[in-house]
Amino acid sequence: MENLVAVCSVPEHHSHQVDKKLWKSIWSMKVLPKIKLFFWRALTNSLPTLKNLFQRRAWTTPVCTLCHSCDESPEHAILLCPWTACVWFGIPLNYCVNVQSVTSLDRWLLGVTTSLALFEERNKDILVLVGITCWEIWKERCSAIFDGRPPSPYSVIRKVISLWGELCLSSSVTTGSTPSLSPPHALWRVPPHPYIKVNVDGAWKKDSLQGGVGCCLRDPRGRLLAGMSKATLRNSAVEVEAEAVLEGLILAKEKNCQKIILESDSMDVVSCMRNENLRGNWRIIPIILEIRRLSSWFTSVKWEWVSRQANQAAHVAAALSNMRVRTLRWASQPPPSMVRVLAKDGLPCPPSN
């Protein structure tokens, strides 16, 4: 066992160099030191993955013991093993890993930090969330293999949200400021005058490819101006999220809203909209181009990512979609479920029928 530990503790020497900007981002993260150490081991290929153990003649096979489909590398263990997809989508980022784009863990992390720079003051807190998620995925993976059980993505999600919330709270207490990215219990906030806030969301079923998009418009007093629910058929969840943004813009234009703040809980879509170079998931590029064309009609459009908990009204609207009734719209009389959500936000709303 001592020899095995020694083998796994020595980084593998290779020509690939990790970008200095990535190291700087990692060492400046306000997280527990063990998470930074975990990143160092992962990026220097020092983790005791089966692929590493096999290459060093310390294990009989490099194949992942959980999915039995690929070699267990750091990239596979943290990002590509099928069970981790639920974790990445279940955390407040609602992140969908683009499997084809993952070539190495450090390049993926660098891409994430580059896109997060678009979120200005929020980037540090989101990077902390990414780091915590990677760490908790690795811990759950090791525990599942040791105990001989399937990994629990729901347990990981709970731990990630709990630890992230604690770190955000401790950071705000230490600095005397409000965290730049609230933990996922934050409520929806009214937009500043004269903006109209457009909340959008999408729901998707992988087995049937059926999806639903929903959006709602509220003014600076928190009053519901309009809402919409629409059924759709798409090949992926991120396409549904992008379509929800497009439908939100269409509804805002119909209501002649000149200045809007569009909020979505899809990190992929918001990143694409705030990135002028059109980098992102190739599946949604055609929709993104249409969104950009339509957004030029408005005097001002601000793109904001919010947690799922702060986007409940749009989430409920998306869930109202029905394949038999393709589109449902409302203005002064929202559905009863929408009234409950608006009341939970602590904001005024019209009564339902």
Query: Does residue 3 fall inside a structural domain?
Result: no
216: left (phi over 0), alpha (psi -120 to 50) or beta: beta
Per-position pLDDT tens, the chain of length 353: 334 333 333 344 455 788 888 888 888 888 888 999 999 999 998 999 999 899 888 889 999 999 999 999 999 999 999 999 999 988 877 777 878 878 899 888 887 766 655 444 455 667 788 899 999 999 999 999 999 999 999 999 989 888 877 776 565 444 444 444 444 446 788 999 999 999 999 988 888 888 999 999 999 988 889 999 999 988 888 899 999 999 999 999 999 999 999 999 888 888 888 776 555 666 788 898 899 999 999 999 999 888 887 888 888 888 887 654 567 887 767 777 677 777 766 555 554 44
Q: Are residues 170 and 230 in the same domain?
A: no
**Residue/partner pairs of 156-163 with CB below 8 Å, 24 or more apart:** 156/87, 157/86, 157/87, 157/90, 157/91, 160/87, 160/91, 160/129, 160/132, 160/133, 160/136, 161/91, 161/92, 163/132, 163/136
pLDDT given for residue 277 in this prediction: 52
User: How high is the pLDDT of residue 98?
Assistant: 79
Task: Kindly state whether residues 217 and 277 are assigned to the same domain.
Answer: yes
Q: Which residues of 232-243 are buried (b: 16+ CB within 10 A; e: fewer)?
A: bebebbbbbbbb
**252 and 151, same domain (yes or no):** no
Q: What is the extent of the structural domain holding 29?
A: 17-175
Which tens digits make up the pLDDT trace of 120-152? 445 566 778 889 999 999 999 999 999 999 999
Taking Cα atoms as reference points, which of 212, 210, 181, 211 lies closest to residue 318? 212
Q: Report the CATH number that the domain containing residue 333 is assigned in CATH.
A: 3.30.420.10
> Residue 109's closest CA among 52, 36, 8?
36
**Based on the domain organization, do 267 and 319 belong to the same domain?**
yes
| The dihedral sign for the CA sequence 108, 113, 118, 119 | positive
pLDDT of 2 reads 38
Same domain membership, residue 231 and residue 150: no
**Distance between CA atoms of residues 276 and 293, nearest Å:** 13
Q: Which helix (H) or strand (E) holds 25?
A: helix 20-27
What confidence score (pLDDT) does residue 12 get?
Answer: 45
Flag whether 291 is in a domain.
yes
Same domain, 167 and 206: no
Does the residue 191 lie in any domain?
no
Is residue 111 within 8 A of residue 21, CB to CB? The reply is no
The model's pLDDT over 50-67, given as tens digits with 9 standing for 90+, comes to 998 998 888 899 999 999
DSSP 189-224: -PPPTT-EEEEEEEEE-TTT-EEEEEEEEE-TT--E
User: Is residue 182 situated within a structural domain?
Assistant: no
Residue 5 lies inside a defined structural domain of this protein: no
Looking at the 3D structure of the chain, how many domains does it have?
A: 2
Q: Are residues 171 and 227 in the same domain?
A: no
Among 145, 175, 205, the domain boundary falls at 175
Residue 241 lies in a domain: yes
Q: Are residues 164 and 238 in the same domain?
A: no
Regarding whether 31 and 110 lie in a shared domain, the answer is yes
Residue 349 domain-assigned (yes or no) = no
- Give residue 108's pLDDT: 87
Pair (115, 239) in one structural domain: no
Domain contains 301: yes
Same domain, 204 and 334: yes
Domain identity same for 160 and 202:
no
Contact call for residues 213 and 243 (beta carbons, < 8 A)? yes
